[in-house]
Amino acid sequence: MSRLPACETLLLAPRGGVLHITLDRPDSRNAMSLQMVAELRAVLAAVRDDRGIRALVLRGAGGHFCAGGDLKDMTSARAQGASAYQELNRAFGTLLEEAQHSPQVLIVLLQGAVLGGGFGLACVSDIAIADHQAQFGMPETSLGLLPAQIAPFVVKRIGLTQARRLALTAARFDGHEAKRLGLVHFVENSPQALAERLDEVLAHVLCCAPEANAATKALLLASDEEPLAPLLDRAAEQFAAAVTGAEGIEGTMAFVQKRKPAWASEPPLEQTPPTSGI
């Protein structure tokens, strides 16, 4: 397994092929500081090429996911002028890009405040599970600001029409509305139900081959950006490589022999939240 970086704003708990990442600034409702951005990017970089880590579960400590950007960082940047604000803002956009393109399956567990930057993180997830009382929104315009880095990801997630409505009104909404908009996939009514849904989702993810999942995720993301014919040519090449590769051979043999493939033979997962950093 990859060596994980030391973190002050995150709790990291690897278990059974899953890395649980907890945003750990509960006093600020896990507001996204520049340090937290840097630490999240370092964690993503550390596990990027590690297929032993097959899923990332991102959640927040203290009953909230993330209340957006850290205003203290903005205050500190004021003395340095506009260029400091630009650098601070763009760093979060880079995190969103890297999280979206992570080879692992990115699952977010959304409770409490899911605002601003937290809303953006939800939009780059592969699978989003929300508490019914979670509070979603883009409050930036109500503060005289722009949802500058999250805007493209919000549009990709829920469409331009709904993104315009939410961004230009700073409206708040709950988990049920988030599901209706297509922002989240599952809404649950209790902490126990959230944990059970997470167990169920992870069990399905761990049935899938890690290299195949990574390549499939990249293909799906590329389908939204690349011309169709070259994309299909490359997909055919990747399919041929997969069929003749280790995972393809193991998967087809397991099917013929009526057994689970090697990557699906994981022990049951204990999905309690992490309590200490690494």
**pLDDT per position as a tens digit, 8-60:** 999 999 999 999 999 999 999 999 999 999 999 999 999 999 999 999 999 99
Q: What is the pTM of this model?
A: 0.91
CB atoms under 10 Å from CB of 139, counted, come to 18
As a whole number, mean pLDDT of residues 189-215 equals 97
Question: Which pLDDT value is given to residue 1?
Answer: 67
Higher-confidence residue: 79 or 60?
60
Task: Give 274: exposed, middle or buried? Use CB within 10 Å, 0-12, 13-18, 19+.
Answer: buried
Cross-strand pairs, 131: 188
Q: Is 133's pLDDT higher than 70?
A: yes
Among residues of the chain, what percentage have pLDDT more than 70?
Answer: 92
As a whole number, mean pLDDT of residues 219-240 equals 93
Question: Which pLDDT value is given to residue 211?
Answer: 96
Query: In this structure, are residues 105 and 53 in contact, taking their beta carbons and an 8 Å threshold?
Result: no
Task: Give 269: exposed, middle or buried? Use CB within 10 Å, 0-12, 13-18, 19+.
Answer: middle
Cα separation of 162 and 181, whole Å? 8
Task: Give Cβ neighbours of residue 231 (< 8 Å, ≥ 6 apart).
Answer: 219, 222, 223
Cα separation of 42 and 37, whole Å? 9
Instruction: Give which of 17, 19, 113, 15 is closest to 61, Cα–Cα.
Output: 113
Q: Taking all residues of the chain, what is their mean pLDDT, rounded to a whole number?
A: 92
List C-alpha distances in Å: 118 to 20, 32, 212, 244, 262: 17, 8, 29, 41, 36
